[in-house]
A and B are shown apart, each in its own frame.
Chain A
Amino acid sequence: MTTEQNIDQILIPILEQVSDPEIPVLSIMDMGVVRTAVIENNIVKVEITPTYSGCPAMDVIGDDIKAALKVAGYDSEIELILAPAWTTDWITPRGRKALEDYGIAAPLNAEADKDVLLNDKRIVKCTNCGSQNTRLVSQFGSTACKAQFQCDDCQEPFDYFKCLK
């Protein structure tokens, strides 16, 4: 699934400290946006890939990676790469759990995703009470990667992380 990743083991604990500024519980490692992180001539070369083209978090993530590596004693170069394109499949199981705990429903598979976003199927689990009696309020939520849902049992409004294949 994430076979194209090339990350030096020593750097993993450092990169795990960096999170998405919009979703602070989710580390960039669990989000799957770090594609390469290697040490070459004492400089860490990092390649990150955007979740969405216009994601304003990417610049901040780049700066945060630089800062975290600096604290650990490394200079770094950050490059934004587009291929292969990010997919929600790259979010790790731990990342999915972090999303759910934070109140964001994790992405369903592509087929189910289509059913909820287009055909009003009620299968997204409410992050508050677990009920599947939930409905789509808006295909676009607080950020481009999410859709807005509401639970018709506990009335909780919540975000659903859209499937991106």
Chain B
Amino acid sequence: MKQNLYNYILGIADNSLILGQRLGELTGHGPSLETDIACTNISLDLFGQVRSYFQYAAKIAGDNRTEDDIAMLRKEREYVNVLLVEQPNRDFAYTMARQFLFDVYHLLFLQKLEKSKDLTLSAIATKSIKEVSYHERFSGDWIKRLGDGTEESKTKMQDAIDGLWTYTDELFHQTEADKAMVAEGIGVDVTKLKETYYKKVNEILEEATLEIPESKWFQKGGKDGIHTEHLGYLLAELQYMQRAYPNMEW
């Protein structure tokens, strides 16, 4: 139970950690000042949520592990985020498409996690819902603006959606920790979110005059620690200080 709960928390938090890091890469590099600030603000929200999850995980582990150890000192195969969130920032359409495809899932997930029997997870979910609702509005808005924009913005957004679509199905795969926690009334049954997810996503895509990808072939592996090549590079940057100067503190 303890190990399952620990793994379960990491399964939730790693998504936010890795996506937060991706968005953080845009600090000073966003396409405009406003979007730069927006992306980094979303990153900050996600990191804040991650801290709450990792502090809880560290408490459950009960050894000397801290939130920072969990965030910074695992090996690539020990991260269990979905492949979607580790995909790099190719262009702004791609960044927003990745954000949107995650935000819709994230909000649905948190709305269920809020009902968890675990009071800490429920409290983190309640807090996060308020923030993630803004994220979803922001990214959904950009899907529509770029999709229903110029010919060039539409092409870029359609390419982004087509390219990232293959990573969406993994969001609804159950891990062993998931199954155990669902049985305990603590975890969310992600398989039940799938229908609502695609309905919501497709509605926005249609509104954005974009085509819904038809491909039925989906990538998976992130939840088992098997990642795309992109994660290693991301972690090299994320972990640099702790690897170069072990146990350093600000």
Q: Which residues of A contact B (CB under 8 A)?
A: 50, 52-56, 82-86, 117-118, 137-144, 148, 162, 164-165
Report A164 CB to chain B, min CB distance, Å.
5
Whether the Cβ atoms of B37 and A54 lie closer than 8 Å is: no
Q: Would A138 and B37 be within 8 Å (CB), given that A52-B45, A54-B47, A54-B48 are in contact?
A: yes
Whether the Cβ atoms of B51 and A85 lie closer than 8 Å is: no
Cα distance A82–B131 in the bound complex, in angstroms: 14
Whether the Cβ atoms of A52 and B131 lie closer than 8 Å is: yes
Contact with A along B111-132 (1 / 0, CB 8 A): 0000000011011101110110
Whether the Cβ atoms of B138 and A139 lie closer than 8 Å is: yes
Tell me, yes or no, whether B134 is within 8 Å of chain A by CB: yes
Q: Would A85 and B126 be within 8 Å (CB), given that A54-B45, A55-B48, A140-B37 are in contact?
A: yes
Tell me, yes or no, whether B52 is within 8 Å of chain A by CB: yes
Instruction: Please indicate which of the listed interface residues B41, B119, B126, B134 has the most CB atoms of chain A within 10 Å of its own CB.
Output: B41
Cα distance A142–B122 in the bound complex, in angstroms: 29
Overall SS of chain A's interface: loop
Tell me, yes or no, whether B44 is within 8 Å of chain A by CB: yes
Whether the Cβ atoms of B130 and A165 lie closer than 8 Å is: yes
Interface size on B, residues (CB 8 A): 28
Whether the Cβ atoms of B48 and A142 lie closer than 8 Å is: no
Chain B positions within 8 Å of A83 at CB level? 119, 122-123, 126-127
Cα distance A82–B49 in the bound complex, in angstroms: 11
Cα distance A137–B123 in the bound complex, in angstroms: 32
Q: Would A53 and B49 be within 8 Å (CB), given that A83-B126, A139-B134 are in contact?
A: yes
Tell me, yes or no, whether B46 is within 8 Å of chain A by CB: yes
Whether the Cβ atoms of A53 and B37 lie closer than 8 Å is: no
Whether the Cβ atoms of A85 and B119 lie closer than 8 Å is: no
Contact of A140 among B41, B124, B128 (CB under 8 A): B41
Chain A positions within 8 Å of B151 at CB level? none
B132 to A, closest residue via Cβ: A53
Chain B positions within 8 Å of A118 at CB level? 137, 141
Chain A positions within 8 Å of B48 at CB level? 50, 52-55
A147 to B, closest residue via Cβ: B134
Cα distance A142–B5 in the bound complex, in angstroms: 36
Query: A118-B141, A144-B44, A162-B134 given. 12 additional CB < 8 A pairs?
Result: A53-B51, A82-B52, A82-B124, A83-B122, A83-B123, A83-B127, A118-B137, A139-B38, A139-B134, A139-B141, A140-B42, A143-B41
